[in-house]
Amino acid sequence: MTGGTETVDETHEAPQAPPSGRAVVARFDHVSMVFDGNTAVDDLSLDIYEGEFFSLLGPSGCGKTTSLRMLGGFEEPTRGRIFLAGKDVTFQAPYTRDVNTVFQSYALFPHLDVFENVAFGLRRQRTAKAEVKRRVGEILEIVDLPNYERRRPNQLSGGQQQRVALARALVNEPSLLLLDEPMSALDAKLRRQMQVELKRIQTRVGITFLYVTHDQEEAMTMSDRLAVMRHGRIEGIGSPQEIYDSPTTEFVATFLGASNLLAGDVTAVDGSVATVTLTNGWTLCVRVGRLPEARVGASVKVGVRPEKISIGSGDGVPGGDHNSLRGRVKVSTFTGVGNQYIVEMPWGTDVTVYAQNIGEAAAPRSGEEVVLTWPIEHTFAVRPMAPGSTEDETNMGDSNE
């Protein structure tokens, strides 16, 4: 897979083994797209497997929507090739591809009722009336709209309109369904409900979904695999748990959830464990396999997720299988399900801690000195981003998204 400038470049000369032997439904082979001198997608190589829910995740301008549009045939790549089911479709028209798309706007026909909206593609294919009735009825059952056939789009809620758009796309039984931020117009509560619904529907119909979103929660909730994009390249790819627990770059660590990142240098490598000395002289341990470069002298940022950290006021520090830091509680906030702390280190850096509200001990208060501990197994390390390199650099405009 193609990564960012801070990752190892992997290409289809050495592809990932398909999970459980599943076939490759879609492939990007060294694909690039340049708009008016700006590179929206940069040498992208990616396989999407049969039956999986795959998400492209990233900020505006990272190239995710452009990638989807090229796969659907709405844009032609500047370089590289695109394959569907092993067939080169790089320059084929959208209507010749076994792909359907659900857009942000849903694009329902306002003058047609739900049944006719869903049946539209089947009618164009001159499908027999009895078959149209059967297939539309089946798909409306799947999207949980069995008694809405005669309603018009303006008589439906936003979530119901989304389900109709989904049913219309699925009724033709494409090999691949493309979804371009279809929940962006829904309120937060309905979005959370539809995340579960969409995954349920995809699991039931078994069609491969390629989902584009900037919302980390959506991607984490629904995806079998996801790719985090930045500057038109993939910086991390894998299951949600793999990407979250073992981010490959500083950008992935900060974009997908909250991370505490502490700068330092590798000062020792002893078997499976490396020692990283922070800029203030404090040392932390990292498994060698989680270092971007297992070399003494390498500069890294040591990371730990806030919910992995235990906070206490005791003097004892766990043994060699844990890392620890000492600091003073700067802010203590009760959130209902837990407490959030901002702990200031002696050298001025803040560390964030999330503690679940299980009522075992009194919560530390602002001003208290505390010890932070977490298992070495929950510690990761990434290469620092180049100076001045920020997420804002990815905002090249919606046309390049």
CATH number for position 234: 3.40.50.300
Boundary (domain end) residue, out of 250, 272, 299? 250
For residues 243-263, one letter each, b for 16 or more C-beta atoms within 10 angstroms of the residue's C-beta and e for the rest, the string is bbbbbbbbbbbbbbbebbbbe
Rounded to whole angstroms, the Cα distance separating 47 from 312 reads: 46
Q: Is residue 237 part of a domain?
A: yes
C-alpha to C-alpha distance for 256 and 393, rounded to whole angstroms: 17
Domain housing 195: 19-98+174-250
On whether both 244 and 264 belong to a single domain, the answer is no
Q: With respect to residue 106, please indicate whether it lies within any of the assigned structural domains.
A: no
Indicate whether 387 belongs to any domain.
no
In a domain, 168, yes or no: no
Q: Are residues 243 and 372 in the same domain?
A: no
**Do 272 and 243 sit in the same domain of this protein?**
no
Do 208 and 80 belong together in one domain? yes
Based on the domain organization, do 374 and 264 belong to the same domain? yes
Same domain, 314 and 225: no
Residue 51, number of CB atoms within 10 A of its CB: 17
Same domain, 236 and 357: no
Mean pLDDT computed over 293-306: 94
Q: Domain for residue 153, yes or no?
A: no
The whole-angstrom separation of Cα 389 and Cα 171 is 45
Both 245 and 264 in a single domain?
A: no
Entry pTM:
0.85
CA angle 55–72–233, rounded 5-degree value: 45
From 161-170, 189-198, 276-285, 371-380, the region with the lowest mean pLDDT: 189-198
Using CA atoms, how far apart are residues 111 and 292, in angstroms rounded to an integer?
57
Identify which has the larger pLDDT, 1 or 176: 176
- Least confident interval from 1-5, 346-350, 377-381: 1-5
Q: Dig out the tokens for 99 from the structure.
A: 């792909």
Q: Flag whether pLDDT at 196 surpasses 60.
A: yes
Nearest to 251 by CA among 351, 383, 56: 383
Mean pLDDT confidence for 379-395:
68
Q: Are residues 242 and 275 in the same domain?
A: no
Q: Are residues 210 and 266 in the same domain?
A: no
Residue 400 above 90 pLDDT?
no
- Number of domains making up the chain: 2
Tens-digit pLDDT profile for residues 77-121: 999 999 999 999 999 999 999 999 988 777 899 999 999 999 998
Q: Work out the average pLDDT over 271-294.
A: 92
pLDDT attached to residue 396: 33
pLDDT band at 331 (very low <50, low <70, confident <90, very high): very high
Is residue 186 in a domain?
yes
Whether residue 278 sits in one domain with residue 226: no
Q: Are residues 240 and 319 in the same domain?
A: no
User: Among 104-113, 289-298, 304-313, where is mean pLDDT lowest?
Assistant: 104-113
